[in-house]
Amino acid sequence: MTLSHLLAQCAAQLPTALRKLDPRHVWRSPVMFLVWLGSLLTTAAALVDPSVFTIALTIWLWLTVIFGNLAEAVAEGRGKAQAASLRAARTDTVARRLEDDGTLVPVPGTQLRIGDRVVVEAGEVIPGDGDIVEGIATVDESAITGESAPVIREAGGDRSAVTGGTKVLSDRIVMKVTTAPGETFLDKMIALVEGTSRRRTPNEIALSILLVSLTLVFLTAVATLAPMADYAGAPQDVVVLVALLVCLIPTTIGALLSAIGIAGMDRLVRVNVLAMSGRAVEAAGDVSTLLLDKTGTITYGNRQASRLVAASGVSDAELRDAARLSSLADQTPEGRSIVDLALAAGADDADLPAGAEFIEFTAQTRMSGVDLADGTEIRKGAGSAVSAWLGLTPSVEVTDVIDEIARSGGTPLVIAVRRVGEKGDVLGVVHLKDVVKQGMAERFEELRSMGIRTVMITGDNALTARAIADEAGVDDFLAEATPEDKMAYIRKEQAGGRLVAMTGDGTNDAPALAAADVGVAMNSGTAAAKEAGNMVDLDSDPTKLIDIVQIGKQLLITRGALTTFSIANDVAKYFAIIPAMFVAAYPSLDALNVMGLSTPQSAILSAVIFNALIIVVLIPLALRGVRFRAASATQVLRRNIAVFGLGGVIVPFLGIKLIDLLVSTIPGIG
């Protein structure tokens, strides 16, 4: 965030910050409420006995409260700007409700009720959240997810859910409404980004208790300081005592705490994740076990050709060309990957010869291939099926290759050819494997360095699961997993005091999503899955769970860093205010004026001004978050102490001194 951008946002949100001076709002933050009360006291003192020092001090105390409100207002403003764009997607549509007798009745979308069936055709906007019960269509979800590429939604599967405000691009569907008007995901998302539905999280409440405790300690200290000062012959004005209190209590983190929480949820929204509560975001930061689906998360989900193994007496080029020809008309991901592998090995990029006939795969033959015009027949398929087609048993060498591929968790496809007047023969084997996504091992290593354990969930057998798990670098795997197995695993982890996160999109995932501390449901999944989870990924990208954990950790790290900075700030203020208060009665205290501040009044005013300005300076950091680095809790703590603890001590010394140089030039203060 540039300085000009920050100033523009602050200027735009200044009216909101001023409205937040209402005591009904300020009292929600006990620290800032105490500053607000102190500002009232100094205002009264300035009216009774006006002076340059009292008036200036009063103005900067009120600015401290306003700057605290401004931090929250800027954070909320970013959400409201996004909410405005979301509202543009929420149009008042007329739905065609399908009655029991088959007739279509036009009704406003706001009058739809749960269970109503609605017909939506190409070019029409989906009137509300629901599940497709009939048909298949391509849907434009860019208004919700920001992705321009349309997606396919169809009845009877885990990708049957549709979201209100999206648009059907082709075909015709019948959907069943699952959410009442005003409670759709779009409505929830608007409420979320505006901050109206955000509640304080347990960690935030605990931090608030700490801040209140520190405030009460300093309030007691300042209250007892007044009679002690009178006894020592150095009576203190109420404005000086208020200034001391405001500078000693943790006003910086008190002012920024709400903004940090709002910004954390805003970062989730910006990556198209809808969190049902701040508790879920915070829990993501404390997760110690991640349950990840293998298909689509760790692997691409479609088997891909990884290598060609030629039989004895067969050249690599002959196997390569036969594999390509047998797959040219095969539009499955496996078929296309075989063609890509052959081309990468040097095959000609030519179309099927004229007169060639493609043989599709069937469950009965378990083979596919091509018949060329010259009578040559090429087949690819399971070893036993190809052997039956040839009428011969593959060689021991080919059989060993098939067994080796199967043991590694891959799928062997045998390529064979049969020419007119010749005996058929096996040319070799194609190794199909569920390819692990690039960079997954590195990401899992980062998570491991943070103390997070990764567990792969798959329906594959244990042999295949182990091979994929070893390649991906996960810590554990759950093979042939049933809904009951997932639940049992989650309960076992939680019984050990660990927080668990998982992703899912099907109805069978709903129990585990509900049991997990962070359950991320895919927006393309079933309504049951979305209701069970406490987050919804609008992009339906299972790998985003890793990003969610990082955002949650960044929220906690930011809160801890700024708390450390706020508390460390007090050191410099001691050296500024305490000597200024008592130097007249005890001249020896001037030795504590290590910053060489001009006068007692300029020292006190400079500390108050710094206390106010540092809030504005830290707003960008509160909104952006402290830069996240994969590290253990101990390493994060050390870095926070080194950067924000030490910085919190040094920066005020420099800042207060510079401000004093300016303030001391004001008549009546310097």
* 293 labelled catalytic: yes
Has 294 been labeled as part of a binding site?
no
Mean pLDDT value across residues 637-664: 89
Higher-confidence residue: 417 or 625? 417
C-alpha angle 6-7-12 in degrees, rounded to nearest 5: 100
pLDDT at 42: 92
Mean pLDDT value across residues 116-133: 87
Query: Sorting pLDDT into bands at 50, 70 and 90, what band is 198?
Result: very low
Has 363 been labeled as part of a binding site?
yes
State the Cα–Cα distance between residues 615 and 270, nearest whole angstrom: 25
Which tens digit of pLDDT belongs to each residue from 319-346? 999 999 988 887 777 888 899 999 999 8
Query: Sorting pLDDT into bands at 50, 70 and 90, what band is 196?
Result: very low
Structure tokens at 232: 């020592």
What are residue 455's DSSP bridge partners?
291, 476
Has 509 been labeled as part of a binding site?
yes
Structure tokens at 140: 């434009």
pLDDT at 86: 54
- Helix ranges (H only) for 271-364 are 278-285, 316-327, 333-344
Query: Sorting pLDDT into bands at 50, 70 and 90, what band is 147?
Result: low
pLDDT at 202: 64
Residue type, 215: T
Structure tokens at 524: 């393309």
In the block, which residue shows the tokens 């949650």? 552
Structure tokens at 135: 């048909």
**Count of alpha carbons within 13 Å of 439, Cβ hemisphere only?**
3
pLDDT at 308: 92
Q: For the purposes of burial, counting CB atoms within 10 Å of the CB of 260, is it exposed (0-12), middle (13-18) or buried (19 or more)?
A: buried
In 3D space, the residue among 266, 145, 252, 144 whose CA is nearest the CA of residue 198 turns out to be 266
Q: Are strands 476-478 and 453-457 parallel, antiparallel or unpaired?
A: parallel
- Helix ranges (H only) for 169-237 are 185-194, 202-231
96 pLDDT exceeds 50? yes
Query: Sorting pLDDT into bands at 50, 70 and 90, what band is 23?
Result: confident
Contacts of 288 (CB under 8 A, 6+ apart): 451, 452, 453, 498, 499, 500
Has 362 been labeled as part of a binding site?
yes
DSSP-derived secondary structure letter, 125: B
* Percent of the chain residues topping a pLDDT of 90: 12
Has 437 been labeled as part of a binding site?
no
Query: Sorting pLDDT into bands at 50, 70 and 90, what band is 197?
Result: very low
Contacts of the segment 440-446: beta carbons below 8 A, 24+ positions apart: 440/298, 440/472, 440/473, 441/471, 441/472, 441/473, 443/546, 444/472, 444/473, 444/474, 444/475, 445/473, 446/630
Which tens digit of pLDDT belongs to each residue from 419-445? 887 888 999 999 988 778 878 888 888
pLDDT at 301: 64
State the Cα–Cα distance between residues 177 and 181, nearest whole angstrom: 10
What are residue 305's DSSP bridge partners?
432
283 pLDDT exceeds 70? yes
Do 386 and 416 form a contact (C-beta atoms < 8 A)? yes
Of residues 116, 129, 266, 293, which has the active-site annotation?
A: 293
pLDDT at 229: 78
Higher-confidence residue: 507 or 397? 397
Task: Choose the weakest-confidence range: 125-129, 294-298, 341-345.
Answer: 294-298
In 3D space, the residue among 522, 524, 538 whose CA is nearest the CA of residue 152 turns out to be 524
Count Cβ atoms below 10 Å from residue 302 Cβ, excluding itself: 15
In 3D space, the residue among 258, 367, 252 whose CA is nearest the CA of residue 610 turns out to be 252
Has 380 been labeled as part of a binding site?
yes
pLDDT at 84: 58
Mean pLDDT value across residues 550-564: 88
Mean residue pLDDT of the chain comes to 82
Has 148 been labeled as part of a binding site?
no
Contacts of 368 (CB under 8 A, 6+ apart): 326, 330, 335, 358, 359, 360, 361, 379, 380, 381
Has 366 been labeled as part of a binding site?
yes
Mean pLDDT value across residues 604-622: 90
Q: What Cα–Cα distance (Å) separates residue 234 from each residue in 225, 227, 293, 580, 587?
A: 11, 10, 70, 11, 12
- Helix ranges (H only) for 428-536 are 440-449, 462-472, 483-495, 510-515, 527-532
DSSP-derived secondary structure letter, 642: I
pLDDT at 79: 57
State the Cα–Cα distance between residues 208 and 214, nearest whole angstrom: 10
pLDDT at 30: 86
* Percent of the chain residues topping a pLDDT of 70: 89
36 pLDDT exceeds 90? yes
In 3D space, the residue among 40, 233, 218 whose CA is nearest the CA of residue 577 turns out to be 218
Has 20 been labeled as part of a binding site?
no
State the Cα–Cα distance between residues 512 and 289, nearest whole angstrom: 14
Has 505 been labeled as part of a binding site?
yes
Which tens digit of pLDDT belongs to each residue from 50-93? 889 899 999 999 999 998 888 888 877 665 655 555 555 455 67
Has 54 been labeled as part of a binding site?
no
